[in-house]
A and B are shown apart, each in its own frame.
Chain A
Amino acid sequence: MPSYIAKRLLLMIPLIFGITLITFIVIHLAPGGPVEVQTEMSLKASAQARENLKKLYGLDKPLHVQYFEWITRFAKLDFGKSFVDGRKVIDKIVERIPITLTINVLSLLLIFIIAIPIGVLSATRQYSLFDKVSTVFVFIGFSTPTFWLALLLMILFGVNLGLLPISGIQSIDVSGMGPLERLADWVKHLILPVGISAFGGIAGLSRYSRSSMLEVIRQDYIRTARAKGLNESEVVFKHAFRNALMPIVTILGLSVPGLIGGGVIFETIFAIPGMGQLFYSSTMSRDYPTIMGILVIGAILTLVGNLIADVSYALVDPRIRVKSR
């Protein structure tokens, strides 16, 4: 097992290299480069000032030199300073990670708790009413723009019923609350964002676990289990479900980029100070160092997600471990 993980880690190195290279290229597609953005607001910026800025960011050097300088600093987790407020990019990102991670972990939990039973039930009762209803739900879930759903729920729960807050992660008067009240306040703020970010995932995963379960149920060992007289629930949960679960584990890793990326829209709608919202405000103000930092970190988080998925797949399915030796 350790050798399997080590092999997977080694494979990540060229990928990280490629990720940084693409990020670098994307940013340098900008006409005039980053300096133009900082000076375009003030017409007074003289040619001399531009040259100084260029020197400051090392933009007067050839591109490949710039790339290697950037990647060496990046290896030390130094992404430079934000154009907007001069703070270190890494600090700005790190303070945003906990809230984004919390929302993603909570919504992943919600996705698994709701989607897997739906998928298993509709597979074991293929073509039943439940299966048909859940299939319709899945297609609607796939096709609903989450930000629209967010708007509708904000109108319903926030504006019309006044039950839930529609922005931020805590009330303004939070400092005057006791710990329990504070927790309740926090939960109230998170219900809509977590529910909405889980919505699309529930549709996807229930579909996936349904087809995974359908495949397993047709196998010979299930027929054997039935033939030797096991009752149906034992067949489903002991024999079929555990085998169907294996490919589902990989979905966990594959859903990471979608969840992180999807955060841009709903964090912006709900004014949640997470990575997505930071990324949005950075793109609006063309804060290149922050954009580059988040792009790279987002991609690396995705790789880590994939790694976790592969390793847990290998843990539950011995065939993978044996094959990789």
Chain B
Amino acid sequence: MRLLKVIGKRFSRNRLSVIGAVTISCLIVIALFAPYISPYDPTAIDVHNVLSPPGKAHPFGTDELGRDVLSRVIWGSRVSLKVGFVAVGIAILIGIIIGAIAGFYGGKVDAVLMRFVDIMLAFPTFFLILAVIAILEPSIFTIMVVIGVTGWMDVARLVRAEFLTLKERDFVVAAKAMGASDLRLIFRHVLPNALSPVFVAATFGVAGAILIESGLSFLGLGVQPPNPSWGNILTAGKDNIEVAWWLSLYPGIAILITVLSYNLVGEGLRDALDPRLWDMEV
């Protein structure tokens, strides 16, 4: 796999993207080993230690029920990881299917599907998500699905554009002439060559999904207490804004670092995967 090596080399040349990738790896380890890392049970209530400021026993302080904020932030990383990956997985699946069909068949199928994309793009996404969650029960499962179902349009457009140009290429035409079925043409010949912009979009998508999840949980429409998520710790921060700044500060930093890391990796991937930039290296 010489190609992978080239991409890896190009990616590692961007220092910020490498830092982002390392940070994401650390965050994944933290999420996986949360039970062993976190100093306290994230849901353990301690009425003697309500809203105590950061100190030796509780580095990030405690919340209005005396729960350890550091432990809640550590456990909250599990939520953002799950939501990020599952929601983006759903979005990519839908986006690839719709984009591939539209780009491969073209004509009326394409026109109808792309109008559907336009319609979906016209809704302020946050309104649509809120409306669906208002109808279904808010839970981590609901928001993963809803963020995925309302976030596939960009992927569909990217995949369609790739398909439009790829399907005219000689290797696809040759495969078709040899009698390959449509499914085989789409999945075996065209799709693997159309994936690099999808990877980039997916990385940025994880960042976006984590931001949306934290916003929804902040509004009380995402992960429900007592389960910790970065967004719902911030709700407590807002309720105690006059007395407990630490409730507002630390979960937000966690969100910022996580989202920033995915954005940096996305940027690095985009440059590394863009063949037009390859000529520039000597």
Taking beta carbons and an 8 Å cutoff, which residues of A are in contact with B? 14-15, 18-19, 22-23, 26-27, 29-31, 139-140, 142-145, 147-149, 151-152, 154-155, 158-159, 166, 257-258, 260-262, 264-265, 268-269, 279-280, 282-284, 286, 291, 294-295, 298-300, 302-303, 306
Contact = CB atoms under 8 A, between A and B. Distances in A.
A298 B124 contact: yes
28 contacts: A14-B115, A15-B119, A19-B119, A19-B122, A139-B264, A140-B256, A142-B207, A142-B260, A143-B207, A143-B256, A143-B263, A145-B211, A145-B214, A145-B215, A145-B259, A147-B234, A151-B237, A151-B241, A257-B124, A258-B124, A261-B125, A265-B219, A268-B219, A282-B134, A283-B130, A291-B134, A300-B122, A302-B124
Nearest to A268: B219
Contacts of B118: 15
A283 B124 contact: no
A264 B130 contact: yes
A260 B130 CA distance: 13
A155 B115 contact: no
A265 B122 contact: no
Contacts of A261: 124-127
B135 A30 contact: yes
Nearest to B20: A139
B249 interface: yes
Nearest to A287: B134
Nearest to A156: B245
A261 B126 CA distance: 5
Contacts of B119: 15, 18-19, 22, 299
Interface of B: 115-116, 118-128, 130-136, 207, 211, 214-215, 218-221, 234, 237-238, 241-242, 245, 248-249, 251-252, 255-256, 259-260, 263-264, 267
Contacts of A151: 234, 237-238, 241, 248, 252
Contacts of A30: 135
B128 A295 contact: yes
Given A151-B252, A257-B123, A294-B127, A283 B241 contact: no
Top 3 A-B pairs, shortest CB-CB distance: A261-B124, A261-B126, A148-B252
Contacts of B136: 29
A133 B146 CA distance: 36
A294 B123 CA distance: 10
A283 B134 contact: yes
Given A139-B264, A265-B215, A148 B124 contact: no
Please indicate which of the listed interface residues B116, B123, B221, B251 has the most CB atoms of chain A within 10 Å of its own CB.
Answer: B123
A260 B127 contact: yes
Contact of B263 (A139, A279, A283): A139
B249 A152 contact: yes
A155 B215 contact: no
Given A23-B131, A148-B214, A258-B124, 9 more contacts: A27-B131, A140-B260, A143-B259, A158-B241, A159-B242, A257-B125, A269-B238, A298-B127, A299-B122
Nearest to B257: A143
Contacts of B132: 26, 29
Nearest to B212: A145
A283 B131 contact: yes
A74 B219 CA distance: 30
A268 B235 CA distance: 12
A300 B234 CA distance: 33
A264 B126 CA distance: 8
B127 A279 contact: yes
A165 B15 CA distance: 42
A29 B119 CA distance: 19
B248 A152 contact: yes
Contacts of B214: 145, 148
A207 to B, nearest CB: 10
B252 A152 contact: yes
A142 B261 CA distance: 11
B130 A159 contact: no
A158 B128 CA distance: 32
B263 A145 contact: no
Given A14-B115, A283-B131, A283-B134, A148 B248 contact: yes
Nearest to A158: B241
A291 B130 CA distance: 9
B218 A15 contact: no
B123 A147 contact: no
A31 B126 CA distance: 22
B127 A27 contact: no
A23 B135 CA distance: 12
A281 to B, nearest CB: 11
